[in-house]
Structures are given as structure tokens and as C-alpha cells.
């Protein structure tokens, strides 16, 4: 999704949100990621302004008062944490681990195949439904290398073991990752 994201071409504008809108966004994020509630004040402080960065293709980036992008939202989806945020708080998403052979493909933005999730070296969190947002870990690595959306439930991935299992949304070294190296606005 963010493989070819470029700040100069894709960002169309920035807005500082009203406090009432900020409150609603914080509430939605806590509903989606209840484990983040104790850390919400440090992520998006109530006393500071949150910036909404509008991008092409109905994409919105939510940046803290320092201009660091924390969450992403597409048109009809919930807010998704960025990979940098996931590295700080790895417990907010269920984790699916792929084998070593899948790493280079995932870093190129490829979708995750079912055999990469069921082979030796791979581990899946049980009971994850279709459509859930997950952290994609790699065998032998400490941090997530991507964030994806389940295209099948974990039970279906194990039983079918063919085709795509997870849609790769955001991975290391894509446009959104490079955007996080500097603050926006």
C-alpha cells in the first residue's frame, strides 16, 4: 500500500484538529487498541494539537504535536498503527510469524502466502479472524517487519494452505517508514 508513497507527491494538506475531534479520535483508537490506553497520553497528549495529514487516495495520517506520524487511516477503515509505533508497543496487534524465506518478499511489498505461515519456522496466533490487522514477524527477528490484514482466518490458512493469507499493508523501508524518519510539517 505504501511502497511508492512519496511525501512531496502524495500529501495534499495538513490540518490541526479541534479538541472535540481529537477526543473522538483518541476514543476510537482506544476502542480498537485497548492495550494502548495507559500510553495514550504520551502518544497523543490531550494538551497538544494533533495534526491530520490528508493524502491522495483518501488516505489520512495522524501525527502527534511533533509531526511524527503515529496512525494511518484509509477511507473506510479504522486507524492503523505505524510500524514505528508497533516497534515501541509490540503487544497492540496479534502476531503472525513467517519463515526466513519470506522476508525478502515481504520487504518488497508482497502479500504473505499461506505456506509461509504454516511452514517450519512460522508461527500463527490462533483464533485471528479474517479482516483482522496483524503484526508480521519473521523467524529469528525481534521486531515486526510489516503490518498486514488477514485475508483468511488462521484456521482457514492452516486448512487451505494455498494462496494469499495476509495482505501486506505497511512494511519496513516503504514510503511511510521513510516518512517516519523525519517529522512532517
pLDDT digits (tens, 9 = 90+) for 74-125: 888 889 999 999 999 999 999 999 999 899 999 998 999 999 999 998 999 9
Share of the chain above pLDDT 70, in %: 91
Is 7-81 CATH 3.40.50.150? no
User: What is the rounded CA–CA span in Å between residue 2 and residue 169?
Assistant: 7
* Cβ atoms 116, 161 nearer than 8 A: no
- 10 Å CB burial of residue 104 (0-12, 13-18, 19+) is exposed
> CA 170 from chain center: how many Å?
6
Is the fold of 7-81 the same as that of 95-171? yes
User: Has residue 6 got a pLDDT over 80?
Assistant: no
**Topology of the domain comprising 95-171:** Sulfate adenylyltransferase (3.10.400)
| Per-residue H/E/C for 57-70 | HHEEEEECCCCCEE
Mean pLDDT of the chain: 87
> pLDDT grade, residue 8 (50/70/90)?
low
What pLDDT score was predicted for residue 157?
Answer: 93
Where are the domains positioned within the chain? 7-81, 95-171
Band (1; pLDDT cuts 50, 70, 90): low
pTM of the shown model: 0.86
Q: What is the pLDDT of residue 144?
A: 94
User: Distance between CA atoms of 42 and 29, rounded to whole angstroms?
Assistant: 14
| Residue 99: C-alpha distances to residues 65, 72, 138 (Å) | 38, 27, 6
- Residue pLDDT, tens place only, 40-63: 998 888 888 888 888 877 788 898
Residues 133-173: tens digit of each pLDDT = 999 999 989 999 999 999 999 999 999 999 999 999 999 88
Asked whether the predicted pLDDT for residue 2 surpasses 80, the reply is: no
Sequence length of the chain is 185
Amino acid at each position: 500500500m505504501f511502497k511508492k508513497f512519496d511525501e512531496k507527491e502524495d500529501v495534499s494538506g495538513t490540518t490541526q484538529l479541534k479538541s472535540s475531534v481529537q477526543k473522538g479520535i483518541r476514543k476510537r483508537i482506544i476502542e480498537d487498541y485497548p492495550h494502548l490506553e495507559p500510553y495514550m497520553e504520551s502518544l497523543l497528549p490531550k494538551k497538544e494539537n494533533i495534526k491530520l495529514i490528508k493524502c491522495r487516495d483518501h488516505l489520512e495520517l495522524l501525527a502527534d504535536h511533533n509531526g511524527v506520524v503515529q496512525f494511518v487511516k484509509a477511507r473506510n477503515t479504522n486507524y492503523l498503527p505505524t510500524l514505528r509505533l508497533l516497534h515501541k508497543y509490540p503487544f497492540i496487534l496479534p502476531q503472525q510469524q513467517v519463515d526466513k524465506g519470506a522476508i525478502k518478499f515481504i520487504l518488497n511489498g508482497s502479500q504473505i502466502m499461506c505456506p509461509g505461515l504454516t511452514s517450519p519456522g512460522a508461527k500463527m496466533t490462533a483464533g485471528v479472524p479474517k479482516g483482522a490487522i496483524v503484526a508480521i514477524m519473521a523467524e529469528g527477528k525481534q521486531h515486526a517487519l510489516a503490518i498486514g490484514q488477514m485475508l483468511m482466518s488462521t484456521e482457514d490458512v492452516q486448512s487451505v494452505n494455498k494462496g494469499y493469507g495476509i495482505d501486506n499493508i505497511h512494511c519496513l523501508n516503504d514510503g511511510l517508514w521513510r516518512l517516519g524518519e523525519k517529522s512532517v510539517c
